[in-house]
Structure 1
Amino acid sequence: MKSILVTGASGQIGSELVAKLQDVYGEDNVVATDIRKSPDAAQQSAGPFEILDVTDGKRMFEIAKQYDVDTVIHLAALLSARAEENPQLAWNLNMTGLVNGLEVARQLDCQFFTPSSIAAFGPSTPKSGTPQDTLQRPNTIYGVTKVSGELLCDYYHSKFGVDTRGVRFPGLISYVTPPGGGTTDYAVEIYYHAVQYGNYTSFIGKGTYMDMMYMPDALDAIVQLMEADGDKLVHRNAFNITAMSVAPEDIESAIQELMPGFAVSYAVDPVRQAIADSWPSSIDSSCAEMEWGFRPRYDLGEMTKDMLLKLHRKLQVKTS
């Protein structure tokens, strides 16, 4: 990767990935794009930024051509809970944007990355130790777009030779950018509420296990996969990756190790709970480990220590 175009650069992943890519490849070599620039000054890119609606394929091509990009990292998408509120918008944004990104990569001979998700699985998928290759019949529009995207990326690789790559992200936890409408967002909110209020009411029920990952590990995974030897990649577009399988009470216990008075109560959101129940409780990431050396650095305890430390600083809340 030498000159990189990032779509959805103001989102949860993009706002942190752009900064990491700038550190690795240089500020001027990362072109951040989004439909609007983030109002949060802390998220403003020091390098080039362009306004882009990803459903506008002509504009995407023009930006990529202007900056002579050799890599497209396509992150723009409507996430699971928000997508269920407006399925037509989700399909249009998620799929049209993806096709446009793939076309840019095909026409300009770029590497291409887009994330899939554990949402690509469904209620008929094995829930525990979900394998890399398995039945995928999601019952959410977000999941449908992710499965479709996986297949489309495979097609562009086999049909046109585009160097497509991707991972199935679990829930991502970060202190930098607020949640953006995902089902796993409780795992971000719980830390914010622990620092700000000392308690949290979870919209996901007790005992609901889902895979999670701390954002630094997710960012490392993207760079590592894009730099990996393509000849060694078998699965290429939808690697299972995970760092931990946790339920709300597990995060509560980890926080209580550092904040003994913290407590979680429950007011389950039926829509998001149904989505969570359709997803795996744990996935098998062994293919990513074998094919490109994926290995997360943070477990629940280490992530919790870092999240609470960083959030106390960010929110300017003194530790007791």
Structure 2
Amino acid sequence: MPIVRNVSRAVSQLLQSSACGCGVSIVPVRCIGISPRQVASDASFHSVSFSESDHPRVLITGGLGQLGVGLAKLLRYFHLELVLTSTLLGAHFPSGSILLGPFIYSDILDYKNLREIVVNNRITWLFHYSALLSAVGEANVPLARAVNITGLHNVLDIAAEHNLRLFVPSTIGAFGPTSPRDPTPDLCIQRPRTIYGVSKVHAELMGEVRTCLFPLKFWEDFIDL
């Protein structure tokens, strides 16, 4: 599946950069215990720029979702320097591997807090999974518009400011009933009928625009029907 190939490509590059053995001195990795550990987000805030040679330190937004849980488990298996998952305060914690590593409470709409998380934890890679999906989004369009579009722009701005490696997945929902089928090409009429789909088309286009304006290493999935 295209989404699997794109995630695999991003993870492969992440692991290759981790294995290169080059980089600046960093704080020794903290052991991951068997219980969840919340990471402080507001201590010793300072502005820094991150080097491409830094060992990978990963933030996964929307880390309690199905894709976030699986990705965190995979990356922690390879013992990366830091794999930090974020979730909204009050979110339900599923049982399983998500509890085996550091997490932090974060609102994707709180730009200042998100930036502090990136800076204080010296994040170099960001996987952006925070979103309201179709059914929930259609039930609350204003909130979906804020989370899916404003949240994306927050991530794009922070990634550009700190030269992060950024992965933002798209969805089959980015295609609409007028899209050609069997097979659906990557570049075609999309015209989705849900706010979730519209926000993902917006993300695809913003990814293209941002790569022209900033030295931002942005991946965007284009999912076939």
Partner of 1:15: 69
The Cα of 1:44 is off from its aligned counterpart by: 3.3
Q: 1:30 aligns with which of 83, 95, 110?
A: 83
Partner of 2:98: 44
Q: How does 1:265-276 map to 2 (within 5 A)?
A: none
The Cα of 1:128 is off from its aligned counterpart by: 2.0
Partners in 2 of 1:122 and 1:41 — Cα distance?
35
Partners in 2 of 1:133 and 1:77 — Cα distance?
23
Partner of 1:4: 58
Partner of 1:140: 194
Q: Does 1:122 align with 2:176?
A: yes
The Cα of 1:63 is off from its aligned counterpart by: 0.5
Partner of 2:30: none
Amino acid at match of 2:188: T
Partners in 2 of 1:153 and 1:129 — Cα distance?
24
Partner of 2:42: none
Q: Does 1:89 align with 2:143?
A: yes
User: Which structure has the larger Rg over C-alpha atoms?
Assistant: 1
Q: 2:185 aligns with which of 128, 131, 144?
A: 131
Partner of 1:150: 204
Deviations 1:87-132 (A, max 9, x none): 1111111111111111111011011011111111112110221011
Q: Does 1:240 align with 2:223?
A: yes
Q: 1:75 aligns with which of 113, 122, 129?
A: 129
Aligned Cα root-mean-square deviation (Å): 1.5
Amino acid at match of 1:33: S
> Aligned residue pairs: how many?
170
Unaligned runs of 5+ in 1: 168-238, 242-282, 284-320
Amino acid at match of 1:106: A
Provide TM-score, normalisation by structure 2: 0.71
Report if aligned partners of 2:76, 2:83 keep a CA contact under 8 Å in 1.
yes
Partners in 2 of 1:110 and 1:145 — Cα distance?
22
The Cα of 1:25 is off from its aligned counterpart by: 4.2
Detail structure 1 runs of 4+ shifted over 4 Å in the superposition.
none
The Cα of 1:22 is off from its aligned counterpart by: 1.0
Q: 2:166 aligns with which of 92, 112, 116?
A: 112
Report if aligned partners of 1:32, 1:45 keep a CA contact under 8 Å in 2.
no
Q: Does 1:58 align with 2:112?
A: yes
The structure richer in helix per residue is 1
The Cα of 1:45 is off from its aligned counterpart by: 3.3
Amino acid at match of 1:114: V
SS, match of residue 49 in structure 1 = strand
Partner of 1:222: none
CA 1:38–1:19: 2 relative to 1, 3 Å: farther
Provide TM-score, normalisation by structure 1: 0.51
Amino acid at match of 1:69: I
Partner of 2:28: none
Amino acid at match of 1:240: I
SS, match of residue 44 in structure 1 = helix
Amino acid at match of 2:158: V
Partners in 1 of 2:170 and 2:157 — Cα distance?
18
Partner of 1:203: none
Partner of 2:37: none
Deviations 1:232-289 (A, max 9, x none): xxxxxxx336xxxxxxxxxxxxxxxxxxxxxxxxxxxxxxxxxxxxxxxxx3xxxxxx
Amino acid at match of 2:184: T
Report if aligned partners of 1:83, 1:142 keep a CA contact under 8 Å in 2.
yes
Report if aligned partners of 2:64, 2:93 keep a CA contact under 8 Å in 1.
no
Report if aligned partners of 2:144, 2:195 keep a CA contact under 8 Å in 1.
yes
